[in-house]
Amino acid sequence: MNNKTFPLTAEQLRKLVATYPTPFYIYDERAIRENARNIKKAFAILPGFFEHFAVKALPNPFILKILKDEGFGADCSSLPELLLSEQAGIRGEAIMFTSNDTPAHEYQEAKQMGAIINLDDYTHIDFLESVAGIPELISCRYNPGPLKEGNAIIGKPEEAKYGFTRDQLFKGYQRLREKGARRFALHTMVASNELNIEYHIETARILFELAVELYQKLGIRLEFVNLGGGAGIPYRLDQQAIDYDALTRGIRRAYDAIIVPAGLDPLGIHLEWGRIITGPYGWLVSTAIHEKHIYRDYIGLDATMADLMRPGMYGAYHHITVAGKESAPLTETYDVVGSLCENNDKFAVQRKLPRIERGDLVIIHDAGAHGRAMGFNYNGKLRAGELLLRSDGSVVPIRRRETVEDYFATLDFTALSQFSSAEPS
């Protein structure tokens, strides 16, 4: 059983809330750095290891800068993510641009920045050539279809909109070489929040075998394979974290069995992990502001699904504790909810918790990835800010909370005052 902790005492948290009212996200810099170093240490047994942090998981330049300091790059899927990475000092081939249904201007910007473009579809070869030109280094995203099982979050690969088929992949590399590409990479992404290390080892094996076949059939020697993201974290108390050393030993065995005999050593190993990098080291802190007792007992928070949509969107579990009551008996059963006009605006359903009073500080764990990033403004809700707990114990704001002025910023009230609501004749 894993133990869910929070880096501040109840007293420290209350002092913090006096300066930064809830709800807010807070991230632990020391823990993120230690995790990054543990990952690099484990993967050091593999050649050319490089991690492109999935910016979509936590798109904040302060976090990106911390990870850059630890030697990580960025995995981007949009123009704003490219620009965020650049602002954090991540540039050139440290960025991998993996998008789908990509507009022309985003390909143009990625190429101009020198990012590694990872094509999602065979038809994008001609499209990229026409709008930006084919770069010297290019990657293609492989969809293994029924060859590889998906999982509950990402679904079956053959039903996914992403990637080349196997046949398209071979034709694609041949065309790219004809169009001037000289350096090549291969990528796949087939799971999300997967804790089974054998799943990730099998993914590596599939890419290694493809690398050998591409060399034997086309004479194309890959510079690296990107094993994608999808590494999970133990959201539930009865789950165990991925053993980095066991994972890398398994990948190394597959590498030695497939790549080395084919004469393709060294072949770089890249990742685009996101959730596992920051997920366990971020928390959404909220205040209990109401209680309701009808057919069920409810605790209403000042945060909503607009701040953390995972539980409401697909029933994801996030552990919940109450500051100062971590050891209190779990005597109550609550639905923990927000104030959206949607009945799925729930952080927990029929959860055993200690008795919660109005004013209690409620901590939602494992919110450091795909939390604030997935926020929205339905019902005019204003999204929470973000704080960083520095390694020296100080706390700094790294994103302010939204205001009503932010919500109205894209509306033109001047034009509204001149607008006639009468239908034109």
**Residues annotated as part of the active site:** 341
Asked if residue 77 lies in contact with residue 97, where contact means CB atoms within 8 angstroms, the answer is: yes
Using CB atoms within 10 A of its CB, is residue 92 exposed (0-12), middle (13-18) or buried (19+)? exposed
Cβ neighbours around 379 below 10 Å, total: 14
From 25, 65, 21, 1, select the one nearest 279 (Cα to Cα): 25
In the structure encoding, which two tokens stand for residue 238, read together?
Answer: 């009865």
Q: How many Å apart are CA 169 and CA 153, to the nearest integer?
A: 25
> β-pairing, 282-293 with 297-301?
antiparallel
In the structure encoding, which two tokens stand for residue 168, read together?
Answer: 């398209």
In the structure encoding, which two tokens stand for residue 245, read together?
Answer: 């050393």
Using CB atoms within 10 A of its CB, is residue 332 exposed (0-12), middle (13-18) or buried (19+)? middle
397 preceded by a cis bond (ω within 30 of 0): no
Asked if residue 119 lies in contact with residue 113, where contact means CB atoms within 8 angstroms, the answer is: no
**Vertex 180: Cα angle to 178 and 183 (nearest 5):** 105
From 108, 95, 182, select the one nearest 138 (Cα to Cα): 182
Token pair 């060859």 is at which residue?
147
Q: How many Å apart are CA 289 and CA 299, to the nearest integer?
A: 8
Q: How many Å apart are CA 296 and CA 105, to the nearest integer?
A: 51
Asked if residue 73 lies in contact with residue 291, where contact means CB atoms within 8 angstroms, the answer is: no
CA dihedral sign of residues 191, 277, 272, 84: positive
